[in-house]
A and B are shown apart, each in its own frame.
Chain A
Amino acid sequence: MELTVIIPAYNEVEFVGDTIRSLLEQTAPPKEIILVDDGSTDGTGDVGRRGGITVIRPPRNTGSKAGAQTFALPWVGTELVMAIDADTTLEPTAVEKLIQSFAHADVAAACGFVLPRRIKTVWERGRFIEYLFAFTFYKQVQDYYRRPLISSGCFSMYRTEVLRRHGGWSGRTLAEDMDLTWSFHQTGAGVRFVPEAVCYPIEPYNFRLMGAQLRRWSHGFLQNVALHWKGLLHVPFLRSAVAVALWDAIVASLAFLIVLPLLMIALRTPWPLLAYFIDAPAILVPLLIGAIPRRALGRTLLSLPSFFVLRLVNGAYFLEAVWSEWLLRRPLRVYVKGH
């Protein structure tokens, strides 16, 4: 099966060269690589041209990753199409592993294991733990029940014809990958998670970038729940997974940020502090199983405290999203890049 890769890029001159090289060095190289230079001012397109790939440029900035990717869709002439972020590199066999999953005719989308490329700051470390935990445990369980919650936007492959039938990547929510995955599930199109296909994006390395990303993700999640909830109710497993994720995101955020501090003040005891990291041993189990084969045990143990910091910050952004999306009815529409 032949493949076209779409790389949406806006001012990615620092990273896009690595992404292109990583694609050209694949054991199953794509037939064509299209870089969508979405109004960059830093010479991103020149990097693509020097790399010998197709570079296209919309008349003006499309305003979102979804817009840039959908702009490139008419150029795709292969059976499969893959979207990859301009700051993401791949294991040399990643494309080959994803293509294999399309041997089953019912598979319309496939995604891989995501791990941050750089793990230095507290934010990158927190994200490393979050991904290692989720992709080792939750996502593999979701895949077994044939309902991965999201085919990750940073690295996913699609059957072109099915993607076109869905109108490409929609900009109606801020989480286009979730929107597309849930639309696929509702129409019976299969989605697969392939843990052997590993990708390495650059994750937000400071609070400003992480905040922009968490804000977009939180609003995007709520927008998708509002958009799809009726349809999701008829998709076994997915309906339960989404309900549980939504409940936890709201209730745990309220508990962490409001209830526990109040409890400490009211009871004049530090015991409620335990609740912030009481699940550390439980989280460690999938982490160790994911880390040992990757020889990342030390890095995992060192990064674990950062996860609890990120979880708290994530909770704050989630509550803000609930407040503005659902209570004030002021949806976030502007796509702010946060890596």
Chain B
Amino acid sequence: MNPGLPGTGIGGLFYILVALLMPLCEIRRRLKGEAPGRGTLVAKQFAIALGVVAATTGVFWGLDAVFTLNAVAAHVASLDTMKWVPLRVSAVLTTSGVLVTVLASVQVARLVVRLRRSRRAA
């Protein structure tokens, strides 16, 4: 089975980030002498993550271009235009903010549970 909805929301960003971190982890593992030689896997997943970033950036650049043309057309027609933050910026900021919040909440929950356990033990 497959939990969640693949491709949506913060999950995509989470897996991109951890895939981009894989080369650093691999170097650390090798320095510790514990890597079983997974260089191909690391390279493949790193490439996928970069590809996903490129594809997403392309989509947002395209959409921003469409909205810009729309705004220019409205301005030419002397209509009021709505100001917007380019999607490529706002989408990344929003998703990153939510991801950081979710991951931080997990850490807070972990600390709370640990604190309660140590209090009970005392």
Contact = CB atoms under 8 A, between A and B. Distances in A.
Q: Do A and B bind each other?
A: yes
Interface of A: 130-131, 133-134, 136-138, 140-141, 144-145, 149-150, 152-153, 175, 177-178, 217, 220-221, 230, 233-234, 237, 239-249, 251-253, 274, 278-279, 281-286, 289, 307, 311, 314-315, 318
Contacts, number: 137
Interface of B: 1-12, 14-15, 18-19, 22, 25, 38, 41-42, 44-45, 47-48, 51-52, 54-56, 58-59, 63, 98-99, 102-103, 105-106, 109-110, 113-114
Interface of A is mostly: helix
A313 to B, nearest CB: 10
Contacts of B5: 248-249, 252-253, 311, 314-315, 318
A96 to B, nearest CB: 18
Contacts of A286: 48, 51-52
Contacts of A251: 9
A130 B110 contact: no
A178 B103 contact: no
B4 A246 contact: yes
Nearest to A150: B1
A136 B48 contact: yes
Nearest to B116: A230
21 contacts: A134-B2, A137-B45, A138-B6, A144-B38, A217-B3, A220-B1, A233-B106, A233-B113, A240-B14, A241-B14, A243-B103, A244-B4, A245-B3, A247-B10, A248-B5, A253-B5, A282-B52, A285-B54, A286-B52, A289-B47, A289-B48
